[in-house]
Amino acid sequence: MKRLKVPLGKLSQVEIDNIVVAQADDDSTWEKSIRVRRKKSASLVIPAELVARATFLARLHRQRNIEDWLTHIIQGRVELEEAAFVGAKRELATKSGA
């Protein structure tokens, strides 16, 4: 199938969708494939006692998977620390500018 040469800015979303569907099975109309690698997960060593406590709390919060619960908790803490850092940095800039 030939590639259609139409300025994309002049096509509606439906027309663009129709072109894509019509060309979907024709490899000559597509650019060369790229390979995307997924980031590897990081591993942490956590003391057994802390894991037991975290498992209890995850269950208390009705989380079946401790990894998901820990990810949620760590993400919240990182956001809190980042906000505190931005606030401290802003406060230092205000004091040094005054």
Q: Where are the domains of the chain?
A: 65-98
pTM, two decimal places: 0.53
DSSP structure class, residue 25 = T
C-beta separation of 69 from 58 below 8 A: yes
What per-residue confidence (pLDDT) applies to 83? Answer: 95
What per-residue confidence (pLDDT) applies to 19? Answer: 86
The pLDDT tens digits for 69-98 are: 999 999 999 999 999 999 999 998 888 876
CA gap 53, 56 in Å, rounded: 5
What per-residue confidence (pLDDT) applies to 2? Answer: 57
The pLDDT tens digits for 15-60 are: 888 888 888 888 887 788 888 888 888 888 999 999 999 999 999 9
Per-residue tokens: 9: 């800015």
